[in-house]
Amino acid sequence: MSLLGHRISDLLHEATFLKTSSIGLANARMNARKVQYTVNHVPVPSYGDSCLVIGAGPSLKRNQSIRKISKSDYDGIIVAVDGALAACLREGLRVDYVVSLDTHPDRIVRWFGDPLLSTRREDDYFRRQDLDPDLNGSETEKNEETIKLVNKHGWKIRALLSTSVAPEVAARCIEAGMQPCWWTPIYDDPRQPGSVTREAYNLTLAPCIATGGNVGSAAWVLAHSVLGKQHVGMVGMDFGYAPGTPYERTQYYHEMKALLGDRYEEGYIPCEDGWYTDPTYFWYKKCFLEMAALAPCKTYNCTDGGILSGDGIECTRLNTFLRRFS
């Protein structure tokens, strides 16, 4: 069953470049006029030498990770991906930075509360997605709640925005009082002639940052290579789907059906303990392991679920990490 999934995963790097580089570059051109600060200007709190990256995978809610963090004496920096921001604010957790990367023209702003929700085209993504299950129902009501929370707490949070994000995301962050600090995602080798990365960099002079293909991995890179933290813990970095998750609730369900038709189930890749993943997340895991082996920090996966393990990653309980860095 998984051979097809592995084959698809091997093809994704080229597919991703085709998909995202043109949109990312177009967004960078529009965002360029807003760039006042880059990640070179990020103020880094002096407390602690650790950072906790909060991804938005299913283990975040399954293990009540945010609640554990908020009740602990953890005194390191907290970096949340955009998809986990609302969940953190709902639990009253202090977030120092939020990271956004994805180029989607109208989905990403929902993570910050979308003031134009009623005007958007029909999209079942938020009703299906497993990144923040609280948004699955009562979309309008939840969106209003998110807007209020982000508006209330935004002034305390620094938004680390990729120049690839849709301009609406930056506008929403600014509206909520978050001062964006920009960075350029590495699409290809910026040292080579004709590099898309270099072209994007020249628009804003925002430093180029490796992303690993997804916002969670990008947040981990920012934690060690911009914020300079030697110990980086992660929660919600599942890169897979919990046992029993229906296929229609996976991130790329529609795309898998479009690609494989009735055979779409064969594209999913079974993993240990009933977890499974899709070709895209499997590719994210491969990219992350490649980066972890080179990283200038110690990486602790405190997700307690998912499929991310391997050389360069210490899988440890969240409470152990929190106690150590309190």
Cβ neighbours of residue 62 closer than 8 Å, sequence gap 6 or more: 242, 305
- For 298, counting Cβ atoms within 10 Å of its Cβ (0-12 exposed, 13-18 middle, 19+ buried), the class is middle
- State residue 164 phi and psi, 5-degree precision: -80, -10
The answer to whether residue 190 forms part of the interface with other proteins (CB under 8 A) is yes
Asked if 113 interacts with other proteins (CB under 8 A), we say no
- The dihedral through the CA atoms of 139, 211, 48, 98 has a sign that is negative
Shortest gap between Cβ of 150 and other proteins (angstroms)?
Answer: 22
Query: Is residue 116 a contact residue for other proteins (CB under 8 A)?
Result: no
End-to-end CA distance of the chain: 45
Distance in Å, CB of 313 to other proteins, minimum: 16
State yes or no: residue 24 binds other proteins (CB under 8 A).
Answer: yes
> In the complex with other proteins, which residue's Cβ is closer, 200 or 322?
200
Per the CB < 8 A criterion, the answer to whether 78 and 93 are in contact is yes
Question: Residues 289-318: x/- map of binding to other proteins (CB under 8 A)?
Answer: -xx--xxx----------------------
Check residue 192 for interaction with other proteins (CB under 8 A).
yes
Please select the residue that binds other proteins; options are 32, 174, 210, 315, rule is CB under 8 A: 210
User: Which of 84/101 has CB closer to other proteins?
Assistant: 101
Query: Interface with other proteins includes 21 (CB under 8 A)?
Result: yes
d(CA 174, CA 180): 7
Closer CB to other proteins, 66 or 196, in the complex: 196
Q: Closer to other proteins at the Cβ: 36 or 202? A: 202
Dmax over Cα atoms in the chain, in whole Å? Answer: 54
Tokens of 220: 């981990």
Number of Cβ atoms within 10 Å of the Cβ of 14: 9
Q: Stretches 150-158, 185-193, 298-306, 314-322: which one binds other proteins (CB under 8 A)? A: 185-193
Instruction: Examine residue 186 and tell whether it contacts other proteins (CB under 8 A).
Output: yes
